[in-house]
């Protein structure tokens, strides 16, 4: 096929193909693209004709790609990224008049402690934009970036898609939260004797604190695990339960009153908070503007 022949190829078909490769389901692809299932099925039929290949074979509830589909996807995905970048570079972005929709992923601690400050700035600077926030963590981030469901993610991260970019926003130290009125900081003995609460997306009952305590030959007793930070202050109020949280989360929780924060009575390491984004949107003017605002309000220059 030469470039003149490309005139008979509908770019929308290629978007459908890429989405089907990610979702492996006509139903989920239809939901992702805001189309009806008949439209996706019709597009798949045209794709099969275009590539002269079945492309997907149903296996149980999933659609498994053929060898030809995998080969096409490896060539097509970076090409679509390049097209997206070329179009984005040609577009201008004016925050004051933009009505763009930005889809970002935030970990729970970031959404609770840092998003309010960012949102105030965005409302003042770009009142017409729409911000869609998805919950992410180091497990969910790669898939949401790869599928394009989010363009930017802020969380602790490990593995990322090959074309993703990443930078450190801040390095945070843990803080101990307590609601009691006992004067003075807790000793290590007091700390280990107290009941503990932790925030765990997966419902775990141990974390980095337990690893540090183990090095000292000590243990703590976790009596509460919750999936988010938002209600932690209310839960600790009137109890002797303590919690160890990131410093920026501790600042937000103590600002509401009823809690105080102090350094834990044991050596702890710092943790990096990352911003990751799709490489295909690295030069998109609107995305660059949003990343700069995230850097401004989520970052901590003193810790970098």
pLDDT tens per residue across span 196-225: 999 988 888 888 899 999 999 999 999 999
In a domain, 127, yes or no: yes
Instruction: Determine the Cα angle at 165 with ends 161 and 167, to 5°.
Output: 130
| pTM for the full predicted model | 0.71
Q: Which residues pair with 224 in a beta bridge?
A: 197
Same domain (yes/no): 122, 259: no
Q: The CATH number of the domain where 80 resides is what?
A: 1.10.10.10
Domains contained in the chain, number? 3
In a domain, 80, yes or no: yes
| Confidence at residue 265, expressed as pLDDT on a 0 to 100 scale | 96
Residue whose entry in the numeric block shows the structure tokens 């004067």: 183
Same domain (yes/no): 148, 290: yes
Strand order of the sheet with strand 221-226? 221-226, 195-199, 242-246, 174-178, 260-262
In a domain, 22, yes or no: yes
Same domain (yes/no): 8, 139: no
Domain final residue pick, 63, 87, 111: 87
| Confidence at residue 302, expressed as pLDDT on a 0 to 100 scale | 63
Range of the domain at 28: 3-87
Q: How far apart are CA 284 and CA 77, in angstroms?
A: 18
| Confidence at residue 61, expressed as pLDDT on a 0 to 100 scale | 78
Give percent of the chain with pLDDT exceeding 70.
93
In a domain, 282, yes or no: yes
Domain final residue pick, 87, 116, 132: 87
Q: The CATH number of the domain where 236 resides is what?
A: 3.40.190.10
| Confidence at residue 118, expressed as pLDDT on a 0 to 100 scale | 94
Kindly tell me the sign of the dihedral angle through the C-alpha atoms of 187, 190, 194, 200.
Answer: positive
130-135 contact pairs (CB < 8 A, 24+)? 130/99, 130/100, 130/101, 130/102, 131/102, 131/104, 132/101, 132/102, 132/103, 132/104, 133/104, 133/105, 133/106, 134/103, 134/104, 134/105, 134/106, 135/105, 135/106, 135/107, 135/108, 135/111
- pLDDT lower than 70: segments of the chain: 1-8, 85-91, 301-304
């Amino acid at each position: 096929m030469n470039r003149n022949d490309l005139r008979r190829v509908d770019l929308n078909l290629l978007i459908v193909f890429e989405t089907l490769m990610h979702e492996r389901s006509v139903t989920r692809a239809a939901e992702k693209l805001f189309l009806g299932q008949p439209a996706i099925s019709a597009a798949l039929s045209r794709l099969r004709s275009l590539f002269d290949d079945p492309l997907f074979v149903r296996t149980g509830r999933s659609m498994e790609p053929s060898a030809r589909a995998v080969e096409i996807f490896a060539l097509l995905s970076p090409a679509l990224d390049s097209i997206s970048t070329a179009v984005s570079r040609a577009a201008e972005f004016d925050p004051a008049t933009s009505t763009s929709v930005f889809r970002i992923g935030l970990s729970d601690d970031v959404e609770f402690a840092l998003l309010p400050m960012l949102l105030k700035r965005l409302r003042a600077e770009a009142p017409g934009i729409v911000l869609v926030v998805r919950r992410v963590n180091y497990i969910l981030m790669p898939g949401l970036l790869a599928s394009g469901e989010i363009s930017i993610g802020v969380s602790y991260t490990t593995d990322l898609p090959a074309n993703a970019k990443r930078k450190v926003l801040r390095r945070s130290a843990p803080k101990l939260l307590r609601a009691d009125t006992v004067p003075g900081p807790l000793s290590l003995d007091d700390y280990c004797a107290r009941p503990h609460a932790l925030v765990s997306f997966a419902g775990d009952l141990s974390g980095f604190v337990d690893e540090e305590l183990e090095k000292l030959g000590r243990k703590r007793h976790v009596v509460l695990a919750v999936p988010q930070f938002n209600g932690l202050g209310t839960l600790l109020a009137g109890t002797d339960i303590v919690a160890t949280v990131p410093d920026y989360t501790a600042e937000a929780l103590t600002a509401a009153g009823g809690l105080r924060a102090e350094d834990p009575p044991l050596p702890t390491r710092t943790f990096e908070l990352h911003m990751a984004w799709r490489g295909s949107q690295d030069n998109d003017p609107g995305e660059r503007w949003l990343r700069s605002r995230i850097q401004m309000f989520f970052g901590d220059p003193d810790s970098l």
